[in-house]
Amino acid sequence: MRRFRTPSAIRCTVFSGLIATLLLLLPGASTATARPTADSVSSCALRGTTGRTDEGHDIDHSVFQRARGTIRVAMIFVDFSDAPATETPASDAARITPGADWLWKASYGKTWLAITQHQKWARMPRKSTEYGFARGLTHETHEAYIKDAVAAADPWVNFSAYDMVYVVPTRNAAAISFTPAYVYDPGTAGVVADGNRLEWAVTFGQDMWHWGPALVGHETAHTFGLPDLYAFDAGADAHRFVGGWDVMGLVGGAGPQYFAWHSWKLGWTADSQVVCRASKGSDTVYLTAVEYGSGTKMAVVRTGPTTAYVVESRRAIQADSRLCSTGALIYKIDTSVVTGQGPVRVMDAKPTAAPAAGCRPLDDAPFWAGQSFTDAAAGVRIEVLSADGYGETVRVTKS
């Protein structure tokens, strides 16, 4: 039986068409193909091979904590006989707690740090100079510091209610100089209080007064399994691998928003927001800037068992409001490389250009419309076809 469309049905059709048109005007929308036919996304989820902290998509959650949902954090404050506190705990906390909002926004609202401040100074049993804080701090020495801090605060803190601990020293303790993250080593006694093994912690140091809230995003992400992107052997430039991109590199960099690869690895970006090219072929895709939560976030071209190129879009908003350059950012992933040795390396669109005042080498790395990147040996070509206020249209080709 043939059905005729009523006037109301026609109005619904017109209205639906109008809605579809309006949706194309929203951030991340484009007339370009949003999800082209490509390879299975799982083909680009490279596995780690080092047995340590690397860029592998697989995270061992028997070691690292999950990066989604609410994480209950106990913030405790410590001072020392050789460095007694003269400030209030609240004044120190104010430097750190904004990091919860920073991480909330950078994770697209997927991770919330529920920080409870126990604003009372806990006196440590040893002098600040006796805790061995120096670069190269061992896991055992670090754990001993956390054990002392937890034991000192235990009389008024119920640690069974928390997932992790932030230990904040008085500003007068110059010897507690820097801020490392702690991850429990399975099979050892670890740190136990109130019947709860505290598997993750961040012990803040005097560098918190330099870095500010983004330091929370860097160190807490180590407990999620993210590696360091700066070079452990500083050489001529400790930030030669990624410059000021991603907070796991330079905490105070111009572009601290997490790479799209990291957001995907941590579950903040869905598989449906990733385009994978693992076999020969070409895909044209509109990439919404990573600072926005919606849209396609990245295109990945797999080049080997542990390697791939990634292209994503960057805009000077949210965490990246201080960007030195915007555009399509291209970087190489190698999951066989361990933390601190360059598991991510940014490709520079302008290698001979001097960075602008206040910017670092690689801060101007993004590719603009009309520019392209080629790795002939890997058979990879990435072309930036066009750009608008919210992202780029790119073509990725594997030959």
Helix runs in the chain, H state only: 7-24, 89-96, 98-106, 139-153, 208-211, 214-222, 260-265
Chain length of the chain: 399
DSSP element (H, E) containing 168: strand 164-169
- pLDDT for 212 equals 87
Q: How far is CA 10 from CA 2, 6, 17, 321, in A?
A: 16, 6, 11, 45
State how far the Cα of 259 lies from the Cα of 226, in Å rounded to an integer.
Answer: 11
Q: Are 358 and 256 in contact (CB under 8 A)?
A: no
Closest CA to 389 of 339, 330, 314, 318: 314
Inter-residue contact 250 to 230 (CB < 8 Å): yes
Query: What distance in Å separates the CA atoms of residue 260 and residue 333, rounded to the nearest whole number?
Result: 12
Query: What amino acid is encoded at 308 in this protein?
Result: A
Residues forming beta bridges with residue 287, ordered by sequence position: 392
Query: Please, what are the domains in the chain?
Result: 29-59+238-398 (no CATH), 69-222 (3.40.390)
Structure tokens at 290: 């990573």
**Whether the Cβ atoms of residue 218 and residue 229 lie closer than 8 Å to each other:** no
DSSP 3-state of 385 = strand
**Closest by CA position to 165, among listed 178, 177, 148:** 148
Strands (E), 204-358: 274-277, 281-288, 298-302, 307-314, 327-334, 344-346
d(CA 211, CA 259): 19
Q: Which residues contact 49 (CB under 8 A, 6 or more apart)?
A: 56, 305, 306, 335, 336
CB 246 within 8 A of CB 256: yes
Nearest by Cα to 269 from 248, 289, 294, 247: 294
Sheet holding 344-346, edge to edge: 274-277, 298-302, 307-314, 327-334, 344-346
**C-alpha closest to that of 157 among 91, 78, 97, 74:** 74
Q: Which residue ranges in the chain fall short of pLDDT 70?
A: 1-37
In contact, 343 and 54? CB cutoff 8 Å: yes
- What one-character-per-residue DSSP string does 331-345 give? EEEETTSPTTS-SEE
Three-state DSSP at 192 gives strand
pTM: 0.90
